Structure 1
């Protein structure tokens, strides 16, 4: 028995250490260009084109988004409104209005009617990472799913967004979007 415990414990500890190293960190993008200024990029009209893929990678839905965005100063902080109008490939439409607040340089919070609690985000260089829980309607039932959302500014007008969706830590699918600033 003693001969089994040591290798099992070693494998467990190595696996735990590897999991701690897994995943990207916003700081690794600090020197990437062009630099993302959220209030500059999301100002005016932005178009987005996206797909939702299930856990196998199959495209389940296609959609477009028209975003009207503006920012103002409130109590010395930048506060933005992103008014998003979605149109899905099956003809359904959806509206989401985000209120974003820059709480400190490169750190943001966000709220929307279908976001449970508050989204939190950080930016560095050309990247932004959002984490939030979305109340997602599926066939008449609302599911609370977690999003790990990464945006990368490619050019001053183009940004790519990849969002992993999960529930109870189980990968459900991915949303991929390309944004184009008019």
Structure 2
């Protein structure tokens, strides 16, 4: 067996392992997880969040807190987010969500290009959207793959991967805590 043939065989044998590492999560895999996430129930009232943005090297590039005031009327929800960053700057994002059939949701916000689309299964919510991200006087359109996991009645964890033209730019990690009524 020549060296080239050995390399090809080794690459063929390793490729399923390598491809598995590139596979994305499967929302259906969370269908039986508890507690079951109902976005209208969880995002109702005031929620505090603490988060970080890590660049592609894993370095924490930004820390922030968020106070969210959330309300629902029927299948329509408003999530009013007030961000405060560690450098003292602030930002506001107001999500307008619509609950559809089969655990599906759509959402809009002023800095979201088009419409966000997502779905719940079990304790998880996954959605995708394009965010108009201001960076140093420019606006970049970045693709967000956003996953939320309900831990209990008060705590939800959130991890979102940010990409531009398919290149991973970094990750946002948040911990949400519902205030007691």
Q: Same fold (TM over 0.5)?
A: yes
Separation in 2, partners of 1:143, 1:23: 24
Of residues 66, 76, 79, the one that matches 2:76 is 79
Give the superposed CA RMSD. Answer: 2.2
SS at the partner of 2:40?
helix
1:105 to partner: Cα distance: 2.8
Separation in 2, partners of 1:153, 1:46: 13
SS at the partner of 2:100?
strand
Of residues 162, 166, 179, the one that matches 2:163 is 166
Tell me which residue corresponds to 1:126. Answer: 123
Q: How does 1:21-170 map to 2 (within 5 A)?
A: 22-73=23-74, 78-170=75-167
Q: Does 1:176 align with 2:177?
A: no
Separation in 2, partners of 1:105, 1:87: 35
Unaligned 5+ runs, structure 1: none
1:119 to partner: Cα distance: 0.3
SS at the partner of 1:105?
helix
Moved segments of 4+, more than 2 Å: none
Normalised to the residue count of structure 2, the TM-score between the two structures is 0.88
1:129-160 Cα deviation digits (max 9, x unpaired): 01000000000000000000000001110000
1:25 to partner: Cα distance: 1.1
1:18 to partner: Cα distance: 3.8
Unaligned 5+ runs, structure 2: none
Normalised to the residue count of structure 1, the TM-score between the two structures is 0.88
Number of residue pairs aligned between Structure 1 and Structure 2: 172
1:24-47 Cα deviation digits (max 9, x unpaired): 111100000111000000000000
